[in-house]
Amino acid sequence: MVENNSANDLFYKETSILENSIEIVHNEKYRDNELLTEYKKLSKHYNTLLILTKKAFKISDTQSKNIKMRESEKKNLLDNSNQGFLTFASDLLVDREYSMECYRIFSRAIGNVNILELLFPDNEEQNKFCEEVLKAIFVSETIEMQRSLIAKLPSLVQVNDKHIEVKYKMISTEESEQDNNILMLILSDITEKRKVEDQVIYLSYHDKLTSLYNRAYVESILPQLQSEASLPLSIIMADMNGLKLTNDVFGHDSGDKLLINASKVFLSCCRQSDIVARWGGDEFFLILPGASSTVCAKICERIKDLCSKVEPDPIELSVSLGATTSENLNTNLTSLMTVAENAMYSNKLIESKRNREKIIFSVEKSLHQHCFEDIEHIDRIKRAVTRFSKVLKVQLDANAIETMMLLARFHDVGKAAIPRAILSKAGPLTQEEWHIMRSYTEIGYRMAQSIDEPVLAQAILAFREHWDGQGYPYGLKGEKIPLVTRIVSILEVYDVMTHGRPYKAKMRRDEAVEELKRCSASQFDPNLVLLFLNNLDYLVRSSDL
Amino acid sequence: METLYIEATKATPEVNFNPDTRTLSIKGQSYPENAFKYFEPLIKWLDEFVRQVKDGEKTQLELSLPYINTSSSKCIMMILEKSEEAVEKGKNIVVNWFYDEENESELECAMEFKEFADLEFNIIPNRQI
């Protein structure tokens, strides 16, 4: 009669009482007891009750376990969705259960907190408006009405410096004690997404290097500028001088610095309302709404002045400018930009000689500061060049002499791009260091090319070639090496030997002569060495020693 | 009496006896597979404790059970019955049931147990034990 299963453990006491009562019922001693019939009935019903109770417990426990498991799974899903889910009824108090992301968004527990306090703690007006709308939602009779009211609620809010996208959903529920409907909010933190989007927009309209506006931005705002409010409208086109040379000789990092410095100059000379943009490469457009030609001219002047005051790094900052002003609404802005561009090219041409001189001067200065060239060394070689051209049997034309003069000044210009540690190293260079060192003639070649001196460029390139073809970079041999190079290399090496370098002591004249003889026909043109040595006293005056 | 400590799991509560304060706390959800198997050692421990404790020495039974399945309810009732019997024999046992103020069903549950147990039974809102 007593069910025998594991639930007995839980009801051991009751089971024990029941077993006892059954014993009593079957005990002959109580056969004639007047209460036996009723007692029998009671035991029977107690047994039934106990069986039913055990069954109910088992069913209930199984259901509970299942419910808890599913609750846990759902919570897991919601908490790991990276979205905030919360609900509230017409009292606008957030229900007890909400996803973990809500805690992160609001930085606190939000159960039983008024939703308006969470979303609009500082905005009373918005708070009031939303309260009215929310209350109306809960009393609206149709779904369409609910939807149109929901559409009035903000889809983007700011909570603790986070940008939160909010979606609303009306849910019917029978579980709520208060209402049949509850409103669910789905919150997505789009702060990072916004940052990325803002950055993309920024980058799409700004030049990465200089942070100025870029061409895309200028093109996008041209229609806006074509308006009465922008008149008179001035445009300046600026073109940097010497950027290619800087990149070639000193490297692109130096070129980038030059561009950045130029950008800073433009920004500091322009007004807040002006648009300063990097058009591309070394070109810039400065668009000045409301600037007359006088104002525009003043800005141009300021730019030139400021450029000259910037510390050369590595060369002096120099720009060519072209400007134009329109007072007519009908003037096409693209055409205006072309006018400014043409004006710039015109000015660049006029200023080209002066600009070239400035660049050469800058490079020379850098050479003297960075390398071990000194002005006296170069002056001595230049004097020797003049004299040598007189003793040379073949008459050199003015261009060749001019080239030699330039070669005297710039034969080592490429060293400005060589690390000083390598230039000043006393001991032998490593393979890697030697590889870097050897590149200086090519760097010098590029520099000369960029100032339109192709003959000089070739002469610099060949400066370390040897008569016997064992030089670099191309192993040119004999008369394939330019004459001007063959001459200046002898003059240069003699001067270095007899005046020394920081890393090498100077030699006596006889020692230098012996060395030249030793290298004649291998490193140097033997005929020119002979000519040099035969005219040594004339070529190298005692005042030069 | 030595300390007693049973770590909580997802389906079973933490059980902790502090001999210095003579406080037995049972805290957490309770829906084990076999409730009797889980609670039996505790019930036996309680029997031994009641035997050892001196008359009049106050012992607190602190309960905080946000969710409790049917079989666990029976086991808690058994614990309360034991406590009641101990009080009848002169022991000083007090029950403190803590509930989450925001959870009405927890309060209702506490009140049901209070009705069942005939000993000092305090229902206290929201304390971390």
State whether A406 and A489 are in the same domain.
yes
* Domains of chain B (ranges, CATH numbers): 4-125 (3.30.750)
Our CA angle for A397, A357, A455, nearest 5°, is 35
Which residues of chain B have a Cβ shorter than 8 Å from any chain A Cβ? 10-11, 29, 31, 33-37, 40, 67, 69-71, 74-75, 78, 102-103
pLDDT at A458: 95
State whether A232 and A285 are in the same domain.
yes
Q: What is the CATH number of the domain that holds A188?
A: 3.30.450.20
- Among the candidates A166, A195, A224, a domain finishes at A195
Q: What is the CATH number of the domain that holds A476?
A: 1.10.3210.10
pLDDT at A176: 54
State whether A461 and A327 are in the same domain.
no
**A39 inside 8 A of chain B by CB:** no
Q: Tell me: pLDDT of B108 over 50.
A: yes
SS (H, E, C) chain B: CCCEEECCCCCCCEEEEECCCCEEEEECCECCCCHHHHHHHHHHHHHHHHHHCCCCCEEEEEEECCCECHHHHHHHHHHHHHHHHHHHCCCEEEEEEEECCCCHHHHHHHHHHHHHCCCCEEEEECCCC
Q: With an 8 Å Cβ cutoff, are A65 and B69 in contact?
A: yes
Among the partner-chain residues A61, A72, A112, the one whose CB lies closest to the CB of B102 is A112
Among the partner-chain residues B10, B31, B36, the one whose CB lies closest to the CB of A64 is B31
State whether A392 and A410 are in the same domain.
yes
State whether A30 and A179 are in the same domain.
no
> Which residues in chain B are contacts of A111 at CB distance < 8 A?
102
State whether A188 and A47 are in the same domain.
no
Domain assignment present for A201: no
Each residue of A118-153: b (16+ CB within 10 Å) or e?
bbbeeeeeeeebbeeebeebbebeeeeebeebbeeb
- Residue B105 confidence class, pLDDT cut points 50, 70, 90: confident
Nearest CA to A267 among A286, A246, A289?
A286
State whether A217 and A278 are in the same domain.
yes
Q: What is the CATH number of the domain that holds A220?
A: 3.30.70.270
Domain assignment present for A528: yes
* B113 neighbors B97 (Cβ within 8 angstroms): yes
Q: How many CB atoms lie within 10 A of CB A268?
A: 10
State whether A512 and A375 are in the same domain.
yes
- Among the candidates A174, A195, A216, a domain finishes at A195
State whether A487 and A396 are in the same domain.
yes
Domain assignment present for A2: no
**Which of 90-129 (A) contact B at CB < 8 A?**
96, 111-112
Task: Give A220 to chain B, closest Cα distance, Å.
Answer: 57
State whether A175 and A46 are in the same domain.
no
Q: Which amino acid does the sequence have at A420?
A: R
Mean per-residue pLDDT for B93-118? 90
State whether A254 and A182 are in the same domain.
no
Q: With an 8 Å Cβ cutoff, are A10 and B74 in contact?
A: yes
Domain assignment present for A200: no
Domain assignment present for A310: yes
State whether A186 and A49 are in the same domain.
no
Domain assignment present for A467: yes
pLDDT at A178: 58
pLDDT digits (tens, 9 = 90+) for A288-308: 999 999 999 999 999 999 999
Domain that holds residue A448: 371-544
Burial class (CB in 10 A: 0-12, 13-18, 19+), A525: buried
Among the partner-chain residues A10, A68, A96, the one whose CB lies closest to the CB of B35 is A10
pLDDT digits (tens, 9 = 90+) for B37-77: 999 999 999 999 988 888 888 999 999 999 999 999 999 99
Q: What is the pLDDT along chain A (545 residues), one digit of tens a residue?
A: 444 445 568 898 899 999 999 999 999 999 899 999 999 999 999 999 999 898 899 889 988 888 999 999 998 998 998 899 999 999 999 998 899 999 999 999 999 999 999 998 888 888 999 999 999 999 998 889 999 999 999 999 999 889 999 999 999 876 655 567 899 999 999 999 999 999 999 999 999 999 999 999 999 998 888 888 889 999 999 999 989 888 877 889 999 999 999 999 999 999 999 999 999 899 999 999 999 999 999 999 999 999 999 988 878 899 999 999 999 888 888 899 999 999 999 998 888 888 878 887 777 777 777 766 678 888 899 999 988 888 886 677 788 888 999 999 889 888 887 888 888 787 788 999 999 889 999 988 988 888 888 999 999 999 999 999 999 999 999 999 999 999 999 999 999 999 987 767 889 999 999 999 999 989 999 999 999 999 998 887 754 54
Q: With an 8 Å Cβ cutoff, are B40 and A72 in contact?
A: no
The number of distinct structural domains making up chain A is 4
pLDDT at B68: 93
Place of tokens 């007693």: B4
- Among the candidates A175, A195, A215, a domain finishes at A195
Task: Give B76 to chain A, closest Cα distance, Å.
Answer: 11
Domain assignment present for A43: yes
pLDDT at B128: 45
Domain assignment present for A15: yes
**Closest residue in chain B to residue A62, using alpha carbons only:** B33
pTM listed for this prediction: 0.60
